[in-house]
A and B are shown apart, each in its own frame.
Chain A
Amino acid sequence: MKTDQLISSLVADRTPPKPFGRRLTLSLLAGALISLGLFVVILGPRHDLAEALATWRFDFKIALMTFTLLLAFGFCRAVARPVAPPHPARGLLLAVAAMGVALALELIVAPSDSWGRRLVGTNSMICLSAIPFFSLAPLVALLAILRSGAPSSPALAGAAAGLLAAACGATLYAFHCFDDSPLFVATWYSLAALPVVAIGAVAGHRLLRW
């Protein structure tokens, strides 16, 4: 086929544009809804949710998860394009900074002999399995949509999708988890996100090439 002939068929293909950001949002919502359903059936929110909402540690945990979710969304959308802004991950440092402030506050207000107990918590094993589990549906949905993107680095885009999916899973799980200490959240939530990011990177490397 001659290139001019190819161009003729490209010009004739007038598939309407589909804004990429909106499709990414929709896929995240779809994945999150599946995870929400699983969450309600399997774990459900903690029974003392109303009291928990009155404590700063719980509120901070939810706020941080939501904040991370938003930042990870921006990161994922940025690296799905062939021309990414110079420092796409910079926004995520804001979440790290917020975590640092909360950690410092916790170390000041909590007596030092309780640090160990707060760090280890009671739920770490559930946390490590539940967050990756609730991340799966969003990850699959995001990767499916990212295949229509054009990431300059497929592995990075996959990792970003993993981070976004993990933030989604962690936001859900945070409503169940009784361990509200920033010490626990910083340690176990991050550890739980790592395998999801890794799976995302490997899957991205294989599936998002174009």
Chain B
Amino acid sequence: MRLARGGDEGAYRQLLGHVAIWLRGVARRGLARAGLGVEDSEDIVQDTLLAMHLKRDSWDDSQPLEPWLHAIARHKLVDHLRRRGFRQQVDIEDQAETLAAPRADDEGSSLDAHQMLSTLPERQRSIVVAISVEGHSARAVGERLGMSEGAVRVALHRALKLLASAYRRERP
């Protein structure tokens, strides 16, 4: 995370990748324990990753990262379970020993991708699709759309914020 703050994209990608795998386990166990189906677990993973990304400034870099990750994961899991009418103490700590268990299967969000992305304005949607699905760089996208790289990044940041709030609204 410290490296990512310094602008190291590779380190950030690796961190988020590891966290996603861990979150997948946390989300599935949390849903299973609540007696719910695990098919929306990927929604929780993505919503939590978005929160971690957009609220990364709330991590105090003089403190260890892991408690912060745990706190956000717990908050989001509790939030999702509550929306499904499940109220009970949720403890992710006792699942921590399985933290490293790799589970790389990524099924994608059960919320239809087009439905989620369709909440975005046209230009932002094309930017997100170009960067995330097609894997272009911000600069390449900017050249194609006739925007500066900075403008692409600003639009991308706004789009991510909108996606995060879309997750909050679209869920049952």
Contact = CB atoms under 8 A, between A and B. Distances in A.
Nearest to A6: B46
A13 B132 contact: no
Contact of A83 (B42, B45, B67, B153): B67
A148 B160 contact: no
A77 to B, nearest CB: 10
Chain A interface size band reads: 20 to 34
A81 B160 CA distance: 21
B92 interface: no
B55 A149 contact: yes
A18 interface: yes
B106 A3 contact: yes
The interface residues of chain B, by DSSP majority, are classed as helix
Nearest to B10: A11
A73 to B, nearest CB: 15
B49 to A, nearest CB: 6
Give 3 closest A-B pairs by Cβ, nearest first: A82-B71, A5-B132, A9-B132
A189 B159 CA distance: 45
B132 A82 contact: no
B49 A12 contact: no
Interface of A: 1-15, 17-20, 80-83, 148-150, 152, 209-210
Contact of A1 (B13, B57, B72, B109): B109
29 contacts: A1-B109, A1-B117, A1-B133, A2-B109, A3-B46, A3-B106, A6-B49, A7-B13, A7-B20, A8-B132, A9-B128, A9-B131, A10-B49, A10-B53, A11-B12, A12-B137, A12-B153, A13-B153, A15-B153, A17-B5, A20-B57, A20-B58, A80-B58, A82-B71, A83-B63, A83-B67, A150-B51, A150-B72, A210-B75
A83 B71 contact: yes
The interface residues of chain A, by DSSP majority, are classed as loop
A171 B41 CA distance: 49
Nearest to B116: A1
Contacts of A19: 57
Interface string B49-82: 1110101111110010001100110010001000
B108 A8 contact: no
A209 B76 CA distance: 11
B108 A3 contact: yes
B123 interface: no
Contacts of B57: 17-20, 148
Contacts of A12: 9, 131-132, 137-138, 153, 156
